């Protein structure tokens, strides 16, 4: 399967390398030859220099057979147009575009493109970590009967076990993130202050955990 990345900045280079490491055939396009220096030396994909709106270049990149395309240049307008061309002219199944200026989001909505706004998402996550202390739902299944909740471990639970935290709360552990690294937890996992714990739980279960943390 062919995957195309348009834009070899920090996001594009990281994305192309991750796709390549998964064994996919990857083509990455950028107008500036120096931008390809951002790729690791062991990158096995194709690099193509030129204008991403040039159909001949897109076809050399394999767009007619492409499974997916991501447009992540630093130009929102270019990302929108390339994404629209990929979907409308070449029927690429999965098209994702980067949005760098929130003021331009209506343009992406007009094209009906799947959009990732790194700045908006990052600001939202930082706000949540700074302001909210209770469990925050990050995913809901069905009609909301079960959710994945995010909890920050306070100092009072430092050294205590995950099993103790979740006991009798109608919940299951999903992940424990410590210093930016997430791991699959075991029941006996010892918690540290500042850990971020994700649990799958009912609302009642999440509230029970929140109350338990608050009592610490």
pLDDT digits (tens, 9 = 90+) for 76-96: 999 999 999 999 999 999 999
Cα–Cα distance for residue pair 184/198, rounded to 1 Å: 10
Q: Compute and round to an integer the Cα radius of gyration of the chain.
A: 22
The pLDDT assigned to 93 comes to 93
Residue 117 has pLDDT above 90, yes or no: no
Mean pLDDT computed over every residue of the chain:
90
Question: Would you place residue 131 in the very low, low, confident or very high pLDDT band (cuts 50, 70, 90)?
Answer: low
Question: 6 vs 115, which has greater pLDDT?
Answer: 6
152-to-146, 155, 160 alpha-carbon distances in Å? 19, 10, 14
pLDDT digits (tens, 9 = 90+) for 187-203: 789 999 999 999 999 98
Residue 121 has pLDDT above 90, yes or no: no
Cα–Cα distance for residue pair 97/78, rounded to 1 Å: 10
Contact 108, 99 (CB under 8 A): yes
Q: In terms of pTM, does the model score above 0.85?
A: no
- Dihedral pair phi/psi, residue 103, rounded to 5°: -65, -20
Domains and CATH numbers, the chain: 2-121 (3.40.50.720), 128-215 (3.30.70.1450)
Residue 123 has pLDDT above 80, yes or no: no
The pLDDT assigned to 195 comes to 94
159: number of Cβ within 10 Å:
9
pLDDT digits (tens, 9 = 90+) for 143-152: 678 989 999 9
The pLDDT assigned to 115 comes to 86
Using DSSP, state whether 25 is helix, strand or coil: strand
């Amino acid at each position: 399967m062919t995957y195309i990345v348009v834009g070899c900045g920090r996001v594009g280079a990281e994305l192309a390398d991750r796709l390549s490491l998964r064994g996919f055939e990857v083509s990455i396009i950028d107008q500036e030859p120096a931008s390809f220096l951002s790729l690791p030396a062991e990158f096995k994909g194709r690099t193509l220099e030129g204008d991403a709106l040039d159909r001949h270049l897109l076809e050399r990149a394999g767009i007619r057979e492409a499974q997916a395309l991501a447009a992540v240049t630093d130009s929102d307008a270019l990302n929108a147009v390339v994404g629209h061309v990929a979907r409308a002219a070449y029927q690429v199944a999965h098209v994702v575009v980067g949005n760098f200026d929130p003021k331009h989001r209506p343009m992406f909505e007009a094209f009906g493109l799947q959009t990732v706004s790194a700045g908006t998402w990052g600001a939202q996550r930082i706000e949540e970590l700074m302001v909210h202390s209770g469990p925050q739902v990050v995913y809901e299944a069905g009609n909301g009967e079960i959710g994945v909740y995010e909890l920050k471990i306070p100092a009072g639970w430092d050294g205590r076990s995950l099993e103790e935290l979740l006991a009798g709360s109608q919940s299951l552990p999903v992940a424990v993130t410590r210093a930016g690294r997430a791991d699959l937890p075991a029941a006996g996992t010892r918690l540290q202050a500042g850990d971020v714990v994700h649990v799958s739980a009912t609302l009642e279960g999440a509230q029970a955990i929140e109350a338990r943390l608050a009592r610490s």
